[in-house]
């Protein structure tokens, strides 16, 4: 016979594992399985266990359909309190039934099972089901990424205590059909939580991750989401009087003078949620950086206060003739430079002010300049070598992300050619090539304090690098699929990643371990943004859905109503943290009221409130003619800059 019985092959694999050679030979002879060259099942342990426990039902594929149908009916007939939570159980049971049918070679039954019950599954799982439906033979299970994920890991389902007891009672009644019990034992992790059953909205808010919802234990670590204490910066020739930041020694709070707005009214006592300044080594500020910071503070003092009544003005930079070539863009912190990465592996840097970009002098000329002069940094630039646009050549694949460092001296870019390159903005050449990812790198970001940067790629890892090490310092493993976007926390201690497995994870730079996992997105996550205070993170996905998470608990703070119709590729918070802007490929920019979103006061259930809370979040929507929005950036004075490409085709 050409098809070998699955349970027997499973037993063979088990025997091989325990090195029972003679038993194996006897079994082969008796079962007439042929010579040693026959292939054996190459399955992970969990699948083996499930085959061996369920072998007596293998011959009867009809039981699967009946069992699933029975479970579905039971769930539909249960009380609303339990219904929505229990319905999250249907999808993993369905998937594993399908895989089991394939494993036992009941392909036609499997296909009909898939057709019958596949369309009833949630819409965010349909794409995954399409990928699974390619698997039509047990040999194909190993090659299929999704099937492997499901067969090696347990799907987590959260149930309230009452719901789980209902489920147990139902399963107990199903003594003759042990299929579901076996599936639950082997492949599904049921976590029981105390509390009432969740509503449909609550369940939907956190459903969508590739392996279900996170377990409570995964979100329990303490996260220091506060901001670092700022060093003492004297802002000298300022129109405002001296503003002193909170000093590093928390002994005595300095009296504040001339407060323009809440920015400088820092809490004199230390924030319990802020990490100590030396938790991770951070570079000291050089003299010139302190001058820059002083300038930044002065600009910040002049900025416009934003809110629902005072929306920002938007300045849109359109890249012409680049509809299908410009991929990514970045604007530096003081909003004077714009960098764009192209799919022909170029990078172009433009200046957004009348000041032109200068190159550095040659070596002989550099020897002649006076190093002690105050403006040595100006003198070292070549006067004749100025241009409004500079080209950077070096990559050999599309450039997926460009990022300016906080001090405007270097540029990082990552590309499909698996490298991350560091460029100098003074010599306009490439300085270092960081090799480590062996697959395309999707995102690269600088730490807000400079020196560190993080990259994420197709190999499901995110890495933390420092500019002076050619190997990564930390590798963050945990995602089940490509890591599409990465972002540093404002205090540089944490990194958030978003991935194609529809989860957002927060990692600790100090230990490299995962501290938070947040599910709820229904599609791949393309962009992340931390709030200015560091407590919240906003994420935008490929279905146009946006979510805001609270880092202290790891739960969703708000699920914004679906407004965008195309993938969101840009998110930016205003400098005072009151307005969140989102830009998407549907050519619109939307402004959201972030203070209302994170407003923790209870909703007044008055009948006068005709507008539900969710609709108050969206402040305004701006549409461009046909320019998908690729980047958003708030200047220090709260002017919103947007970058997009003009798609001339209708």
Partner 1 sequence: MSEKDKSKSGGQAKHIPKDAQVIMSIMKEVGITDYEPRVVNQLLEFTYRYVTSVLDDARIFANHAKKKTIDLDDVRLSAQMQLDKSFTNPPPREVLLEIARVKNVNPLPLIKPHCGLRLPPDRYCLSSCNYKLKPATKKVITKTTITPSPSIKTVTTSKAPQQTVVMKRPPGAIVNVGTPKTSLGTKPVLKFSSSSKVVKPAVRVTAGPSSQAPIKMETDEPMSHKRKREDDDYDL
Contacting positions for partner 1 (CB under 8 A): 37, 127, 130, 134, 145, 152, 280-284, 286, 359-364, 366, 409-410, 422, 424, 426-433, 438-439, 451, 458-461, 466-470, 472-477, 480, 509-513
CB of 412 to partner 1, least distance (A): 13
Query: Which two structure tokens, joined as six digits, stand for 38?
Result: 């026959």
At what angle are helices 62-77 and 179-187 packed, to 10 degrees? 80
* Shortest spacing between CB 302 and partner 1, in angstroms: 32
State which residue, 474 or 590, has the beta carbon closest to partner 1: 474
Least separation in angstroms between residue 362's CB and partner 1 is: 5
Question: CB within 8 A of 582, min separation 6: which ones?
Answer: 540, 546, 563, 564, 568, 570, 571, 589, 590, 592, 632
Inter-residue contact 319 to 643 (CB < 8 Å)? yes
| Dist. CA 384–CA 370, nearest whole Å | 19
Q: How far is the CB of 603 from partner 1 (least distance, A)?
A: 40
Look at residues 488, 489, 444, 492 and name the one whose alpha carbon lies nearest to residue 281.
Answer: 492
- Angle, nearest 10°, between helix axes 45-53 and 90-103? 80
Strands 155-160 and 188-193: parallel
Residue 593 CB, shortest distance to partner 1, in Å, is 37
Provide, rounded to whole angstroms, the least separation between the CB of residue 115 and partner 1: 13
Give the residue among 495, 488, 498, 535 at the shortest CA–CA distance from 518.
498
Nearer to partner 1, 47 or 58 (CB): 47
Work out how close the CB of 475 gets to partner 1 at its nearest, in angstroms, rounded to a whole number.
Answer: 4
Residue number, 36 or 603, with CB nearest to partner 1 = 36
194 or 364, CB closer to partner 1?
364
Residue nearer to partner 1 on the CB measure, 284 or 383: 284
203 by DSSP, 3-state: which? helix
Q: Maximum CA pair distance of the chain?
A: 94
Distance CA 210, CA 213 (A): 8
CA distance linking residue 17 with residue 5, whole number of Å? 19
Shortest Cβ 145–partner 1 spacing (Å) = 8
Q: Which is nearer to partner 1, 76 or 108 (CB)?
A: 108
Contact 502, 510 (CB under 8 A): no
Q: Report in angstroms how near the CB of residue 350 gets to partner 1 at its nearest.
A: 21
Element housing 288 (H / E): helix 287-301
Element containing residue 465 per DSSP (H, E): strand 461-466
Nearer CB in complex with partner 1: 251/284: 284
CA distance linking residue 247 with residue 260, whole number of Å: 19
Nearer to partner 1, 431 or 623 (CB): 431
Q: Are 317 and 643 in contact (CB under 8 A)?
A: yes
21, two tokens = 């050679």
User: Per 3-state DSSP, what percentage of the chain is helix, strand, and coil (rounded to 5)?
Assistant: 25, 25, 45
Helix boundaries (H) for 390-483: none
Which of residues 26 and 433 has its CB atom nearest to partner 1 in the complex? 433
Among residues 400 and 476, whose Cβ is nearest to partner 1? 476
User: Cβ 365 to partner 1, closest distance in Å?
Assistant: 9
CA distance 99 to 342: 42
Strand partners, 631: 643
**C-alpha span between 126 and 334 (Å, rounded):** 44
Distance CA 380, CA 385 (A): 12
Would you say 352 or 360 has its CB closer to partner 1? 360
Of 248 and 261, which CB lies nearer to partner 1 in the complex structure?
248
Give strand ranges (E) for 326-466: 326-331, 337-342, 347-351, 357-360, 381-387, 389-392, 399-404, 410-415, 419-424, 430-435, 441-446, 452-457, 461-466
Strands in 588-593's sheet, in edge-to-edge order, are: 568-573, 579-584, 588-593, 618-623
As measured in angstroms, the least distance from the Cβ of 203 to partner 1 is 27
Shortest spacing between CB 428 and partner 1, in angstroms: 8
The C-alpha atoms of residue 286 and residue 233 are separated, in whole angstroms, by 12
Q: How far is the CB of 352 from partner 1 (least distance, A)?
A: 23
Nearer to partner 1, 419 or 624 (CB): 419
């Amino acid at each position: 016979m050409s098809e070998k019985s699955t349970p027997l092959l499973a037993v063979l694999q088990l025997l091989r594992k325990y090195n029972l050679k003679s038993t194996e030979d006897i079994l082969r002879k008796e079962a007439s399985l042929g010579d040693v060259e026959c292939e054996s099942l190459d399955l992970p342990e969990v699948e083996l266990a499930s085959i061996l426990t369920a072998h007596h039902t293998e011959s009867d594929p009809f039981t699967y359909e009946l069992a699933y149908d029975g479970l579905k009916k039971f769930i539909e007939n249960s009380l609303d309190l339990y219904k929505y939570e229990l319905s999250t159980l249907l999808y993993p049971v369905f998937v594993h039934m399908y895989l089991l049918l394939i494993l036992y070679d009941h392909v036609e039954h499997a296909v009909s099972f898939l057709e019958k019950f596949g369309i009833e599954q949630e819409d965010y799982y349909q794409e995954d089901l399409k990928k699974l439906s390619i698997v039509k033979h047990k040999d194909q299970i190993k090659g299929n990424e999704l099937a492997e994920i499901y067969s090696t890991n347990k799907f987590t389902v959260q149930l309230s205590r009452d719901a789980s007891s209902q489920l147990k009672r139902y399963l107990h009644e199903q003594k003759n059909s042990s299929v579901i019990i076996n599936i639950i034992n082997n492949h599904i992790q049921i976590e029981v939580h105390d509390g009432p059953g969740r509503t449909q909205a609550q369940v939907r808010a956190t459903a969508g991750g590739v392996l279900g919802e996170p377990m409570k234990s995964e979100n329990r670590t303490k996260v220091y989401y506060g901001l670092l204490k700022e060093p003492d910066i004297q802002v000298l020739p300022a129109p405002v009087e001296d503003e002193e930041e909170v000093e590093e020694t928390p002994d005595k709070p300095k009296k504040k003078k001339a407060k323009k707005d809440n920015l400088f009214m820092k809490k004199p006592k230390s924030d319990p949620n802020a990490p100590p300044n030396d938790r991770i080594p951070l570079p000291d500020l050089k003299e010139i950086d302190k001058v820059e910071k002083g300038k930044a503070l002065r600009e910040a003092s002049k900025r416009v206060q934003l809110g629902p009544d005072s929306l920002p003005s938007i300045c849109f930079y359109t890249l012409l003739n680049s509809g299908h070539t410009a991929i990514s863009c970045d604007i530096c912190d003081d909003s004077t430079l714009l960098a764009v990465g192209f799919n022909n592996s170029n990078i172009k840097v433009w200046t957004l002010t009348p000041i032109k970009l200068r190159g550095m002098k040659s070596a002989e000329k550099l020897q002649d300049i006076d190093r002690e002069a105050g403006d040595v940094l100006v003198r070292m630039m070549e006067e004749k070598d100025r241009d409004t646009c500079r080209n950077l050549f070096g990559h050999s694949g599309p450039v997926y992300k460009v990022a300016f460092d906080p001090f405007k001296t270097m540029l990082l870019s990552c590309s499909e050619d698996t490298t991350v390159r560091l460029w100098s903005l003074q010599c306009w050449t490439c300085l270092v090539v960081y090799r480590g990812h062996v697959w395309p790198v999707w995102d690269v970001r600088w730490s807000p304090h400079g020196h560190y940067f993080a990259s994420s790629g197709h190999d499901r890892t995110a890495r933390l690098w420092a500019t002076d090490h050619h190997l990564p310092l930390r590798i963050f493993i945990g995602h089940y699929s490509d890591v599409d976007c990465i972002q540093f926390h404002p205090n540089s201690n944490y990194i958030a990643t978003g991935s194609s497995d529809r989860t957002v994870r927060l990692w600790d730079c100090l230990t490299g371990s995962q501290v938070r996992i947040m599910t709820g997105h229904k599609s791949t996550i393309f962009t992340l943004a931390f709030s200015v205070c560091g407590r919240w993170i906003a994420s935008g996905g490929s279905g146009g859905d946006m979510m805001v998470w609270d880092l202290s608990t790891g739960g969703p703070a708000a699920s914004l109503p679906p407004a965008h119709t195309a993938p969101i590729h840009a998110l930016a918070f205003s400098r005072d943290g009151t307005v969140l802007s989102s830009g998407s490929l549907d050519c619109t920019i939307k402004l959201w009221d972030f203070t209302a979103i994170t407003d923790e006061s209870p909703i007044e259930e008055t009948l006068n409130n005709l507008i539900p809370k969710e609709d108050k979040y969206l402040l305004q929507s701006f549409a461009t003619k046909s320019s998908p929005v690729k980047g958003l950036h708030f200047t220090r004075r709260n002017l919103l800059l947007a970058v997009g490409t003009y798609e001339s085709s209708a």
